[in-house]
Structure 1
Amino acid sequence: MSDAYVYVKDNTAEISLPAGTQVTVKAKTNSSSVQQVRLTGQDGGVDLLFSGTGERNTVIGQETVTGQAGLKAVFEYAGADGVFRPSKLNSGGPYEIGNYNLLVVVAENGDDADYNDTVLEFSWFTSK
């Protein structure tokens, strides 16, 4: 798990996942404003766009990717005028719970300070 990390700066997260591992990517929202996250890989093998609204952890996208270094996630939200603006980010993990691993990036659009407007989760299993 030592090769998994996340680094956030402004509205962009740089993510590294365990090489060759099947990783579930799930995007959720807790906002009435449109939330958007684009996940891309350096090699072009990953190019995902999750977008939507909803409360109570509404899932706006889920995919499986093969772990790799050099992923980039850009988080934005649509203001009342429909123009997308950068979100503020925070992150946690990776957390190892038995053979389950979790890495999380959360985004805030500024209407409060709960950092749950967009939640991007990366989860995978390791053999013991």
Structure 2
Amino acid sequence: MSNASVFVKDNKAEISLPAGAKVTIKAKTNSRFTQKISATSKDGAVDYLFTGTGEHNSVAGQTTITGPSQIVATFEFSEADGNWKASRLNSGGPYDIGNYHLLVVVAENGDDADFNDAILELSWYTPKS
């Protein structure tokens, strides 16, 4: 079991990860509007900002973190006026496939309702027992 979870409220996702896990974070976009995802930990060890636009899972950023067990991800988007607006969120996982684990948070900005405008994927492996 991966010992991870996500709680979505408004445009924030509170993400719990296994302590000490080496986690890959990927941010992707599927929208003509600029998407912004900020990922922060309470202790300040994690403080990343991913921004981007584009279709077909355009990569807005990727990083690897180790250690923090709590991260808050905030999702926003900007139309032509340049003002940031809150996205609507949904989540899935963690999905455990053998020693591989995947947790996904998806965002919708309201232009189509497909919940893929911004995607945050968190993945990690656990050692074999």
Work out the percentage of aligned pairs sharing the same amino acid: 64
Per-residue Cα deviation, 1:94-120 (whole angstroms, up to 9, x for no partner): 000111100000000000110000000
Match of 1:16 in 2: 16
Cα pair 2:2 2:101 within 8 Å, conserved: no
TM-score, scaled to structure 1? 0.97
Counterparts of 1:80-95 in structure 2, within 5 Å, are 80-95=80-95
Q: Which amino acid aligns with 1:11?
A: N
Q: Which amino acid aligns with 2:63?
A: E
TM-score, scaled to structure 2? 0.96
Cα pair 1:16 1:67 within 8 Å, conserved: no
CA distance in structure 1 between the aligned counterparts of 2:2 and 2:33, rounded to whole angstroms: 36
CA distance in structure 2 between the aligned counterparts of 1:123 and 1:70, rounded to whole angstroms: 14
CA distance in structure 2 between the aligned counterparts of 1:15 and 1:97, rounded to whole angstroms: 19
Does the residue aligned with 2:25 lie in a helix, a strand or coil?
strand
1:99 aligns with 2:99: yes
Q: What is the deviation of 1:69?
A: 2.5
Match of 2:121 in 1: 121
Q: What is the deviation of 1:79?
A: 1.8
Per-residue Cα deviation, 1:77-103 (whole angstroms, up to 9, x for no partner): 002211010000000000001111000
Does the residue aligned with 2:69 lie in a helix, a strand or coil?
coil
Give the 4+ runs in structure 1 shifted more than 6 A. none
Q: Which amino acid aligns with 2:51?
A: S
Question: Which ranges of structure 2 fall in alignment gaps of 5 or more residues?
Answer: none
Question: What's the Cα RMSD here?
Answer: 0.9
Match of 1:61 in 2: 61
Does the residue aligned with 1:44 lie in a helix, a strand or coil?
coil
Q: What is the deviation of 1:66?
A: 1.2
Q: What is the deviation of 1:2?
A: 4.8
